[in-house]
């Protein structure tokens, strides 16, 4: 299978909700060259991020509604349109030809005709002004910013982060900015309305560029085995461009590389973990010898980070409601040399071991709105009606964690959401319903400053 065929297959499986796209890509193409594998990542994640924009480019040339198209055909149209509009290093004729080559014979002519019309409307001209005929582009893929950098339209060397179309295909931002925001930056309309009311125009545009660019890859150095400075030297010796992050264990990779090919992967000198996610275990800062409950542990990044703070002494009970997800925790622990973790499969999270524990982390299921770039499917799977259910679940899990710690113990509540109702709203509701709690600290990570968005709160039980 070619890279484009693999990408189409991953898009189909992602649509069928087999798993998140990043997980599907990991196992989908072991035979591909590193270059083709990078193209698969670029295509799949790009199509998922820019689906709303791609549909706006395709729709004017269709003679039937989207609902009448076979989902596989629509995936192929989006795959081709993404290359035409956003991958400036792919010639237009190649984008059309290679996509048509993987199209079933019965719809080849149809797909070819639509993609040729999209190719005609996309120009090679770039501008600094948004408009109904201007599509915001991915500054990283365009080559204006490094892969590990922070997307920022002001840093575009050409000062032109919008690609011109020959005709207006997007809503006019001057007359309907929410509709433009939704189509141009590829958000569901309800989310565009929600964020525009909260953040205002300028911040929504900044978030749009951030969430539509490949997120930087962060590593957490395993300081039980090596100092960060020494690991940076190992990366430099392999000519891998990297930089230290603000967190004392954080390393940001400044170029696209295969994680498994990094120095001492098998030896467990590092874990892949976003910068904002590293802040959670640091907020708890468990001591060696403690007993810690990790109530929602999979895939294990925070679990192993807790173990590093504890110098691999003490006890961590890592819980999840899906046994298979705990396999990833066990595998990461083995690679990182962590031996103090006990996996525990729960029914609904409220049946956690009774403890009492010295501390607990409850990284709750959430809307994932802080990681829309890393998990782009979320913007199309999430519905506003789900927040009520999520908040009830988050509240119940936080109550459970607080119940399981001893008097004087500490709980850190965290999400990868930027929705206040899931964050401080849950914490304050629980504190009103449960006496003798003290909110010692809380932090909101803003998307793009410098990594994913998220939240944590440290609560002490009297």
Closest CA to 165 of 253, 279, 68, 84: 84
Tokens representing 316?
């961590």
d(CA 25, CA 23): 5
Question: What Cα–Cα distance (Å) separates residue 457 from each residue in 145, 303, 412, 440, 445?
Answer: 34, 17, 5, 8, 12
Tokens representing 446?
């803003």
Question: What Cα–Cα distance (Å) separates residue 45 from each residue in 10, 85, 253?
Answer: 10, 15, 19
Three-point CA angle 380, 212, 6, nearest 5°: 70
CB atoms within 10 A of CB 296: 22
What single string gives the DSSP state of each residue in 83-140? HHHH-TTS-HHHHHHHHHHTS-GGGHHHHHHHHHHHHHHEEEEEESS-BTTEEE--TT
Out of 3.30.160.100, 3.30.70.1170, 3.40.50.1980, 3.30.1180.20, which CATH number does the structure's domain 217-272 have?
3.30.70.1170
Tokens representing 343?
């996996």
d(CA 403, CA 352): 10
d(CA 133, CA 60): 13
CB atoms within 10 A of CB 91: 13
Q: Which phi and psi (to 5°) does residue 100 adopt?
A: -65, -35
State how beta strands 405-415 and 437-445 pair: unpaired
Question: What Cα–Cα distance (Å) separates residue 336 from each residue in 52, 236, 258, 265, 332?
Answer: 40, 22, 18, 9, 6
SS3 194: helix
Closest CA to 434 of 400, 389, 388: 400
Question: What Cα–Cα distance (Å) separates residue 253 from each residue in 26, 149, 424, 442?
Answer: 19, 9, 32, 28
Closest CA to 199 of 424, 418, 456: 418
DSSP classification of residue 377: T
The pLDDT assigned to 159 comes to 65
CATH architecture, domain 275-461: 3-Layer(aba) Sandwich (3.40)
Cross-strand bridge partners of residue 411: 360, 459
Tokens representing 383?
């519905």
The pLDDT assigned to 29 comes to 67
The pLDDT assigned to 19 comes to 86
Closest CA to 351 of 386, 390, 321: 321
pLDDT in tens, the chain (462 residues): 899 999 999 999 999 988 889 889 888 867 788 889 889 999 999 999 999 999 999 999 999 999 999 999 999 999 999 999 999 889 999 999 999 999 999 999 999 999 999 999 999 999 999 999 999 997 554 444 444 444 444 444 346 899 999 999 999 999 999 999 999 999 999 999 999 999 999 999 999 999 999 889 999 999 999 999 999 999 999 999 999 999 999 999 998 788 988 999 999 999 999 999 999 999 999 999 999 999 999 999 999 999 999 999 999 999 999 999 999 999 999 999 999 999 999 998 889 999 899 999 999 999 999 999 999 999 999 999 999 999 999 999 999 999 999 999 999 999 999 999 999 999 999 999 998 999 999 999 999 999 999 999 999 999
Q: Give the predicted TM-score (pTM) of the model.
A: 0.93
Is residue 140 within 8 A of residue 103, CB to CB? The reply is no
Catalytic residues: 416
d(CA 370, CA 420): 11
The pLDDT assigned to 301 comes to 97
Place of tokens 């820019």: 50
Q: What are the residue boundaries of the structural domains of the chain, listed by start? A: 1-126, 217-272, 275-461
d(CA 289, CA 74): 55
Question: Looking at the chain, how many residues does it have?
Answer: 462
CB atoms within 10 A of CB 288: 11
Class of domain 1-126: mainly alpha
Closest CA to 44 of 84, 85, 76, 1: 76
Tokens representing 223?
């300081």
Tokens representing 401?
């964690």
* Terminal-to-terminal C-alpha distance of the chain: 60
Instruction: Collect all residues with Cβ–Cβ distance below 8 Å to 132 and sequence separation of at least 6.
Output: 168, 169, 170, 171, 172, 173, 180
List, in sequence order, the alpha helices (H) in 212-300: 228-237, 275-284
């Amino acid at each position: 299978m070619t890279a484009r065929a693999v990408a189409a297959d991953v898009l189909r499986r992602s649509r069928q909700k087999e798993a998140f796209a990043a997980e599907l890509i990991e196992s989908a193409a072991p035979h591909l060259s590193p270059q083709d594998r990078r193209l698969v990542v670029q295509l799949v994640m790009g199509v998922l991020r820019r689906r709303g924009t791609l549909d706006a480019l395709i729709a004017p040339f269709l003679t039937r509604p989207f609902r009448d198209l076979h989902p596989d055909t629509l995936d192929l149209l989006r795959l081709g349109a993404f290359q035409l509009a956003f991958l400036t290093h792919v010639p237009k004729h190649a984008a059309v030809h290679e996509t048509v080559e993987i199209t079933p014979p019965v719809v080849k002519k149809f797909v070819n005709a639509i993609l040729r019309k999209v190719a005609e409307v996309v120009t090679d001209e770039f501008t600094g002004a948004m408009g109904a005929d201007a599509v915001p582009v991915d500054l990283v893929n365009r080559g204006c910013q490094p892969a590990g950098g922070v997307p920022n339209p002001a840093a575009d060397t050409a000062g032109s982060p919008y690609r011109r179309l020959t005709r207006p295909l997007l809503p006019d931002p001057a007359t309907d900015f929410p509709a433009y925001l939704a189509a141009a930056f590829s958000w569901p309309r309800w989310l565009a309305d929600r964020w525009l009311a909260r953040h205002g125009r300028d911040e929504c545009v900044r978030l749009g560029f951030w969430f539509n660019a490949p997120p930087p890859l962060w590593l957490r150095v395993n300081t039980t085995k090596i100092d960060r400075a020494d690991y940076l030297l190992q990366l430099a010796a392999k000519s891998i461009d990297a930089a230290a992050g603000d967190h004392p264990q954080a390393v940001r990779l400044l170029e696209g590389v295969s994680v498994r090919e990094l120095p001492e992967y098998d030896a467990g000198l590092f874990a892949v973990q976003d910068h904002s996610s590293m802040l959670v275990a640091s907020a708890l800062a468990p001591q060696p010898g403690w007993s810690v409950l990790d109530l929602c542990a999979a895939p294990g990044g925070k679990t192993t980070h807790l173990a590093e703070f504890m110098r691999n002494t003490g006890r961590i009970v890592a819980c999840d409601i899906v046994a298979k997800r705990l396999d990833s925790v066990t595998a990461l622990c083995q690679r990182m040399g962590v031996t103090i973790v006990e996996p525990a499969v729960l029914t609904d999270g409220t049946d956690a071991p009774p403890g009492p524990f010295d501390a607990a982390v409850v990284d709750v299921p959430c809307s994932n709105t802080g990681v829309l770039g890393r998990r782009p499917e979320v913007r199309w799977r999430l519905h506003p009606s789900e927040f009520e259910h999520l908040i009830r679940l988050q509240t119940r899990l936080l109550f459970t964690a607080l119940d399981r710690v001893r008097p004087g113990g500490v709980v850190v509540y965290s999400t990868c959401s930027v929705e206040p109702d899931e964050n401080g709203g849950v914490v304050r509701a629980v504190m009103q319903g449960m006496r003798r709690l003290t909110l010692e600290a809380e932090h909101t990570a803003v998307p793009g400053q410098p990594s994913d968005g998220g939240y944590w709160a440290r609560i002490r039980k009297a």
